[in-house]
Amino acid sequence: MLFITACLKRNLDGLRLALVCAWLSFAGLAMAAEVEVSSPQLIAADEGYAVSADFQFELSSRLEEAVMRGVVLTFLIDFELVNKRWYWLDEKLLSRQMSLRLYYHALTRQYRVASGGGLHQSFPTLNEALRVVSRLRSWQVIEKASDFPQIKSGEGYRGALRFKLDVTLLPKPFQISAVGSRDWHLASDWKTWNVNLPAPESK
């Protein structure tokens, strides 16, 4: 009897933990500030293909304060190209991720935006820096179309794009503050659109 009671207690504890985790995941999604992805496009560029889009969002006062205190904000942009198949599950052909880091350099009193490729840009105001972060231009997701024979020009595909602040890269004290707070979360839903690939540019 004691054994059965102990097993039931362990099962109930496990169920409670699963429910709490599920609630926290849902709450995190619900509390994320909205980012709108607009005008996404995939265009031929330099023998391959590049993505452009705009992101509409505003930083909360807490995020602005964090930047002023020297905290680095890392934004992630995810892109996927999917082959739509009516007879079977869709096929993911391509997945790419780009990171942008925004921070304040106290010595020069400049806001800086750094891309994963090592490019740095400096701006006198936060608004100017955010304007660059919010405008994705000519992100080369396919260097050479010939390296992806399964992706053919003239065919119809579906593109998907997402933008979010990576809270996991914040300093630990800020990660703790972010739990259960909308002010620290910034993310978009996946923005999907139909893509009819043009022929890649040739040199």
Tokens 């006062």 sit at which residue?
61
Q: Using alpha carbons only, how large is the chain's radius of gyration in Å? A: 21
Measuring CA to CA, how many Å separate 138 from each of 27, 42, 200?
34, 9, 14
pLDDT at 33: 61
Which positions of the chain have pLDDT values less than 70? 1-33, 176, 178-181, 202-203
Q: How far apart are CA 161 and CA 185, in angstroms?
A: 18
State residue 178's pLDDT score: 66
The per-residue b/e assignment along 50-86, b for 16 or more CB within 10 angstroms, e otherwise, is: bbbbebebebeeebeebbeeebebbbbbebbbbbeee
Distance between terminal CA atoms of the chain? 79
Residue 2: per-residue pLDDT: 41
Cα–Cα dist 1/4, whole Å: 5
